[in-house]
């Protein structure tokens, strides 16, 4: 088994942050020495955001982090513009995994998206709503997230990151 850091370009990283996907199919060519079962730390410009396992040329997610975590390896990869696959020795892998935050217990969340729609009837309003959702997507439509039962603690998110909702910002 080998260990890898896969440093994604900005556009691939943004795509991974926007949607709940089962795996990453990176644009970077797979190294010849890589094999199914290898462990992979997925990183973006902000740091490691997930851990996964190589399966048929794709990296299947095993754990996602709430916040990306900068590590020495990610800082070096992005500083040297070494995007793509970077091999790690077992000691570096263990240090990287130990540096990540402890996984949190799963809990229930209330996620909402509301927007005013002008329409002739309810059916047209719903069609327009889904058309707006499709055309704007997670890069432009903020969602509101709160712990279930504690809606007043809600915050706005855009692409999985807290986002200010002040119209003047």
Range of the domain at 137: 109-162
What pLDDT is attached to residue 19?
Answer: 81
Q: Shortest CA distance to 114 belongs to which of 144, 89, 138, 93?
A: 144
Residues 64 and 116 in one domain: no
What pLDDT is attached to residue 110?
Answer: 87
User: Sign of the C-alpha dihedral, residues 72, 75, 79, 83?
Assistant: positive
Instruction: Spell out the alpha helix ranges (H) of 62-162.
Output: 72-79, 90-99, 122-136
pTM above 0.95, yes or no: no
Q: Residues 71, 47: contact at Cβ < 8 Å?
A: yes
Residues 93 and 135 in one domain: no
Residue with tokens 């943004």: 14
What pLDDT is attached to residue 154?
Answer: 83
What is the SS3 assignment for 32-48? Answer: CCCCCCCEEEEEECCEE
How far is 13 from 1, CA to CA, in rounded Å? 25
Residues 85 and 144 in one domain: no
Give the CATH number for residue 20: 2.30.130.10
What pLDDT is attached to residue 9?
Answer: 92
In a domain, 60, yes or no: yes
In a domain, 145, yes or no: yes
What pLDDT is attached to residue 108?
Answer: 87
pLDDT in tens, 123-167: 899 999 988 888 887 778 888 888 888 888 888 877 777 877 665
Residues 69 and 148 in one domain: no
What pLDDT is attached to residue 151?
Answer: 81
Q: Which of the residues in the chain have pLDDT under 50?
A: none
Domain count, the chain: 2
Q: Residues 39, 65: contact at Cβ < 8 Å?
A: no
């Amino acid at each position: 088994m080998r260990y890898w850091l896969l440093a994604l370009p900005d556009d691939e990283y943004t795509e991974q942050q926007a949607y709940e996907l089962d795996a990453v199919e990176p644009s970077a060519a797979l190294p010849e020495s890589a094999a199914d079962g290898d462990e992979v730390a997925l990183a973006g410009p902000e740091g490691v955001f997930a851990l996964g396992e190589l399966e048929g040329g794709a990296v299947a997610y095993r754990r996602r982090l709430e916040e990306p975590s900068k590590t020495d390896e990610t800082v070096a990869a992005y500083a040297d513009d070494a995007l793509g696959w970077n091999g790690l020795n077992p000691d570096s892998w263990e240090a990287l995994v130990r540096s990540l935050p402890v996984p949190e217990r799963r809990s229930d969340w209330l996620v909402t998206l509301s927007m005013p729609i002008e329409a002739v009837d309810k059916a047209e309003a719903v069609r327009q709503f889904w058309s707006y959702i499709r055309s704007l997507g997670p890069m432009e439509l903020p969602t509101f997230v709160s712990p279930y039962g504690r809606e007043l603690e809600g915050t706005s998110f855009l692409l999985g990151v807290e986002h200010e909702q002040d119209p003047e910002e």
